[in-house]
Amino acid sequence: MFTEVKRLIRFALHYFSANLQSAMEYRGAFLSQVVFMFINNLMLLFFWWVLFSKIETLNGWSFRHLLLLHALVGGAYACQALLFGGSFSLSRSIAEGGLDFYLTLPKPVLLHALISRSFAAAWGDLAFSLAVFFLTAAPSAGLTLCFLLLCFAGGVVMTSFAVLAHSLSFWLGRSERLANQLSEALLSFSLYPEGIFSVTTRVVLYTLIPAGFVAYLPVRILDEFTLARVGLLLCFALALAVLARFVFYRGLKRYESGNLVVVHAAD
Amino acid sequence: MPVPPGKVSSMQLARGGAVRKYLRVAEISLTNRLAYLADHLVSSIFLILILFIFSQLWKTVLGTEGQIAGLDSTRMLWYMVFTEVIALSTPGTHSLVSEEVKSGDIAYKLVRPYSYILYYFSSHCGEYAVRFVTNLLVGSAFAYLAMGPLAVPWAKLGWVLLGLALAAAINFLVSFSVALLAFWLEENRPFFWILNKMLFIFGGLFIPVEAYPQGLRLVSYLLPLRYSISGPALLVVNFDYAFLWQLLAGQLVWVLLLAALVTAMFRKGVRRVHVHGG
């Protein structure tokens, strides 16, 4: 089993490297995307800076918490976009018969579809995430490792949620817009502090739209580390990934080939 | 072969006179969008999501007594209804133009009997009208249910509509000028990202620019974005004649300046178009 896992990790790394080389082919465009994405994210913090110049805290959330939240969500999003970029267009592949390519190859279909794409601009998200984290937390090596783990777990939650949303296409047909809006909802809720939401909304944000596991719980972990919280986050991420995999393969039984003959190349 | 520069640009601009033609373009665009009304309503889910988050935020921050820039929590949400409706209703005309310039398809449009800029402006207005009405209906319904009604200045509705119309024109001209950068740059998408985020800040998308520290407020007063997003929204929720005159003056200045810029960019850019047979 370990050999198989090692082989899959190596397979994913090959794709990651190929996607990176492909993006670097146009170095100017790559760098401009990264730099502009960094600035783009920085500007998102402006609103909070203005707001926190007028108030001290927001139901227990300070500006520092907000910065950590943005660092974590930026890192989680970068993880999804860089490692599992195919999750953004899964429903289109399903509706247009684009999974044919993956079905003919001796690799896990879902993993292959997810890792086959990567978004160069997300390097800007990663740079933003790390910069904000280092400036805010002045971290030790251990805390940095913990931060990277939390970002990865958040990325797995975001990817699994996207897979679940996009898998609706197996049953509903073309539902790309719905899937995108659900993913957008997860990202949007993740970018606002938990303290502003009512109890009912928080229940939703820890279950149906799991922003709590992408943003709120990781911020608490960075603020006050406990193994129980880390364990809870990792268990949730793993369980959601297993559920997403189950739903995808269940839906795949309903998949109909598009009889498309296309050249498949890394974007 | 290269397109004769003087000829094309003067032809393009001289064709701007036939108002009826452009009204027809706007009407076609409007009718096209009406065919996808259900689609628009689905897109409004994002608007509800953002308004929901901010209704919770303003309730928490301002409670029942607090104010920011003279607006209480109810009016802050209504302010956001209008800023979001303006921003979300702006069609993606710029991406079409950008793609046409990059792919060279613009050459097909240049030989048609209309001004390229006015054609897209008319089309933009038609689509904007449909989006604006549907988004406003959805946004207003949500804000009414979440925070209660807004005291609408019905008697001054004409002034408000004028402010909103000029705001739409500024939005079009700003994004069109960025789209025209495609004549010179291979990749102009990052400029749109930045423009979008500048709308957040200097357009006052989430919070009126009047709430900013003095230096930033001054910068936003000097840029067109405040006149296209924050200004008209503030006028609706907090109507005041002194502010109205200031807003309209700023809007008119920016419409003229940006129209001159777009025309100059288009004239210069179109000289770089090379038409090849095929």
Q: Which range has the worst mean pLDDT, A252-261, B70-79, B89-98, B131-140?
A: A252-261
| Structure ipTM | 0.84
**Does residue A184 sit within a domain?**
yes
Q: What is the pLDDT of residue A263?
A: 56
CB contact (8 A) between residue A32 and residue B212: no
CB contact (8 A) between residue A196 and residue B53: yes
**Token pair in block for residue A183:** 């993913």
**Does residue A262 sit within a domain?**
no
Number of folded domains that form chain B: 1
Looking at per-residue pLDDT, the higher value among B16 and A118 belongs to: A118
pLDDT in tens, chain A (267 residues): 678 889 999 999 999 999 999 888 888 888 888 988 898 888 889 889 999 998 888 989 999 999 999 999 999 999 999 999 999 999 988 988 889 889 988 899 999 999 999 998 999 999 999 999 999 998 899 999 999 999 999 999 999 999 999 999 999 888 888 899 899 999 999 999 999 999 999 999 999 999 999 999 999 999 999 999 999 999 999 999 999 999 999 999 988 876 665 555 544
Backbone CA torsion sign across B204, B207, B208, B210: negative
**Does residue B187 sit within a domain?**
yes
**Does residue A265 sit within a domain?**
no
Strand partners, A58: A61
Number of folded domains that form chain A: 1
Q: What is the pLDDT of residue B100?
A: 83
Per-residue pLDDT reduced to its tens digit, B212-221: 999 999 999 9
Residue A58 DSSP label: B
Query: In chain A, what residues touch B193 (CB-CB under 8 Å)?
Result: 36-37, 40
Domain that holds residue A235: 2-252
Closest to A37 measured CA to CA, from B187, B239, B252: B187
Query: In chain A, what residues touch B197 (CB-CB under 8 Å)?
Result: 39-40, 43-44
- Distance (Å) from the C-alpha of residue B22 to the closest C-alpha of chain A? 32
Q: Which range has the worst mean pLDDT, A127-131, B150-154, B220-224, B232-236?
A: B150-154
* Among A35, A42, A50, the residue to mutate for chain B (most B Cβ within 10 A): A50
Residue B15 and residue A265: Cα distance in Å, rounded?
45
**Does residue A266 sit within a domain?**
no
For residues B183-193, average pLDDT: 78
Residue B22 and residue B36: Cα distance in Å, rounded?
22
Q: What is the pLDDT of residue B56?
A: 93
**Does residue B275 sit within a domain?**
no
Query: In chain A, what residues touch B198 (CB-CB under 8 Å)?
Result: 43
Query: In chain A, what residues touch B212 (CB-CB under 8 Å)?
Result: 50
**Does residue B278 sit within a domain?**
no
Q: What is the pLDDT of residue B1?
A: 42
Q: Is B49 on the interface with A (CB under 8 A)?
A: yes
Q: Which residue has the tokens 């210069």?
A: B268
A173: left (phi over 0), alpha (psi -120 to 50) or beta: left
| Burial class, B14, CB count within 10 angstroms (exposed 0-12 / middle 13-18 / buried 19+) | exposed
Q: What is the pLDDT of residue B276?
A: 62
- Distance (Å) from the C-alpha of residue B265 to the closest C-alpha of chain A? 23
Closest to A172 measured CA to CA, from A91, A64, A229: A91
Query: Percent helix, strand and coil across chain A, each rounded to 5?
Result: 75, 0, 25
**Token pair in block for residue B198:** 């500048």
Q: Is B243 on the interface with A (CB under 8 A)?
A: no
**Token pair in block for residue B226:** 């405040």
- Number of Cβ within a 10 Å radius of residue A154: 29
Query: In chain B, what residues touch A178 (CB-CB under 8 Å)?
Result: 42
Per-residue pLDDT reduced to its tens digit, B18-67: 788 888 888 888 888 887 777 777 778 889 999 999 999 999 998 888 88
Q: Which range has the worst mean pLDDT, A139-148, B105-114, B238-247?
A: B105-114
Query: In chain B, what residues touch A59 (CB-CB under 8 Å)?
Result: 60
Q: Tell me which residue in A47, A177, A197 faces B56 most closely, judged by beta carbons.
A: A197
Residue B204 and residue B191: Cα distance in Å, rounded?
19
For residues B74-96, average pLDDT: 90
Domain that holds residue B223: 5-270
| Buried-exposed string B223-259: b where 16+ CB fall within 10 A, e elsewhere | bbbbbbbbbbbbbbbbbeeeebeebbebbeebbeebb
Q: In percent, how much of chain B has pLDDT > 70? A: 91
What's chain B's average pLDDT?
Answer: 86
CB contact (8 A) between residue B68 and residue A181: no
For residues B243-251, average pLDDT: 95
**Does residue B277 sit within a domain?**
no
A–B interface: beta-carbon pairs under 8 A: 73
Q: Is B112 on the interface with A (CB under 8 A)?
A: no
| Cβ atoms of A115 and A143 closer than 8 Å | no
Residue B5 and residue B119: Cα distance in Å, rounded?
20
Q: Is B184 on the interface with A (CB under 8 A)?
A: no
**Does residue B276 sit within a domain?**
no
- Using a cut of 0.90, tell me whether the model's pTM lies above it: no
**Token pair in block for residue B111:** 């030989």
Q: What is the pLDDT of residue B10?
A: 45
Looking at per-residue pLDDT, the higher value among A13 and B152 belongs to: A13
pLDDT exceeds 50 at position B95 = yes
Q: Output phi, psi for A61, to 5 deg.
A: -100, 125
Instruction: List, as one string, the DSSP characters of chain B.
Output: -B--HHHHHHHHHHGGG-HHHHHHHHHHHHHHHHTTHHHHHHHHHHHHHHHHHHHHHHHHHHTTT--BTTB-HHHHHHHHHHHHHHHHHS-THHHHHHHHHHHSTHHHHHTSSS-HHHHHHHHHHHHHHHHHHHHHHHHHHHHHHHH------GGGHHHHHHHHHHHHHHHHHHHHHHHGGGGT-S--HHHHHHHHHHHHHTTTSSS-GGGS-HHHHHHHHHSSHHHHTHHHHHHHHS--HHHHHHHHHHHHHHHHHHHHHHHHHHHHHHTT-B----
Query: In chain B, what residues touch A54 (CB-CB under 8 Å)?
Result: 68, 211
For residues B150-158, average pLDDT: 87
CA B127 distance to own-chain centroid: 12
